[in-house]
Structure 1
């Protein structure tokens, strides 16, 4: 028995006709093949997940096109629908990028889908993001758009009260937050970033806001902030730098 064993040992040490060692020596290759198969299975699962996400996004687009604005009391127009469609497209692109990257590395952990992105506040049927950095109004508007969202639009008292409380809680020394309201196009004609007009106003009455104060310089005060101290809005120069509140529709998963 010992001689037979020795012969088998010698046999496995001999090169094959192609010049390679037998696969018995390459247990690491076997393990690598097994990991590769598991990875392929994971990628197949990821493709199924991506298909599911695509289905969700398709449903969202159809909902946007069929029902129009989801904000209570907000009028429906092409600007509102365009803003929402752009938001959906940006979120879908981000989802595809995330899961494509995930498919290239089976070591990453899949995060469960949520109605709002990670780090966003879910209030009603909306998601809100409170920035930690500061930008002027125009850059804040663009920053929100890059995240698949827009500067917040406050058509209801419930929205205003919920955000005002959150700003007071997290704002600290920063009590001015940009909202998506300005009269940049025409002085005194205050409009939201989706081009809708004011339904309810929360201007600071004690300061006679909006007052387009001379301190705003040659361009005046054409952009609005939510002030958590007074729980009201102020018009301020658009080139001031403040934190911002971004907003997007939540995704119905069920």
Structure 2
């Protein structure tokens, strides 16, 4: 026969397990179906963002997002950039590394006409000072802004689902 303390402890463990399980299902169900492929998932203003620390080329990153019914992140204002940079910095706290990640913009025709994956023109940009070369764009955590780079270089990935796509 279990003591009152033991029963109380078991009830607490079962409640915690059920609550944790519910939170995971809610998070995965409302954003990305398979959160195990992602290192960070966050929702913000009716959009869902999934961060993957693994390094990909731009094309590989775009395909990885598409497999999750998402696109590479589309930064439409400073609020999105600050939110995502803050979330990733908190995830990496204590590791002293600067993170850069692919954006869904590129100059596919090499005409300096930058477009998002869905072919919309960029309405807001955050280009950094310094050397720029390439036809793809990353968010550079060290410079806290956008940088043109070679599409075959390797960077982290942020996938986005929501009202913009």
Say whether residues 1:115 and 2:22 are aligned partners.
no
What is aligned with 1:187?
111
Q: Secondary structure at the match of 2:30?
A: coil
Tell me by how many angstroms 1:166 deviates: 1.9
* 8 Å CA contact retained: 1:226, 1:232: yes
| Whole-Å separation in 2 of the counterparts to 1:120 and 1:190 | 27
What is aligned with 1:207?
130
Say whether residues 1:175 and 2:96 are aligned partners.
no
What is aligned with 2:151?
238
| Whole-Å separation in 2 of the counterparts to 1:146 and 1:246 | 10
Structure 2 stretches lacking a partner, 5+ long: 1-20
TM-score (norm 1): 0.47
Tell me by how many angstroms 1:174 deviates: 4.6
What is aligned with 2:135?
222
Superposition pairs for residues 79-90 of structure 1, below 5 Å?
none
| Whole-Å separation in 2 of the counterparts to 1:244 and 1:153 | 12
Q: Mark the CA change 1:169 to 1:188 in structure 2 (over 3 Å): closer, same or farther.
A: same
Superposition pairs for residues 94-173 of structure 1, below 5 Å?
112-113=25-26, 114-117=29-32, 118=35, 119-171=40-92, 172=95, 173=97
| Whole-Å separation in 1 of the counterparts to 2:88 and 2:49 | 11
What is aligned with 2:16?
none
Structure 1 stretches lacking a partner, 5+ long: 1-108, 213-220
| Whole-Å separation in 2 of the counterparts to 1:234 and 1:130 | 19
TM-align CA RMSD:
2.1
Higher helix share goes to which structure? 1
Q: Per-residue CA shift, 1:39-63, capped at 9, x if unaligned?
A: xxxxxxxxxxxxxxxxxxxxxxxxx
TM-score (norm 2): 0.71
| Whole-Å separation in 2 of the counterparts to 1:170 and 1:235 | 25
Indicate the structure whose relative CO is greater, using CA pairs within 8 Å and at least 6 residues apart: 2
* 8 Å CA contact retained: 2:58, 2:151: yes
| Whole-Å separation in 2 of the counterparts to 1:138 and 1:234 | 17
Tell me by how many angstroms 1:184 deviates: 1.4
If you compute each CA radius of gyration, which structure gives the higher value, 1 or 2? 1
Tell me by how many angstroms 1:169 deviates: 2.5
Q: Secondary structure at the match of 2:53?
A: coil
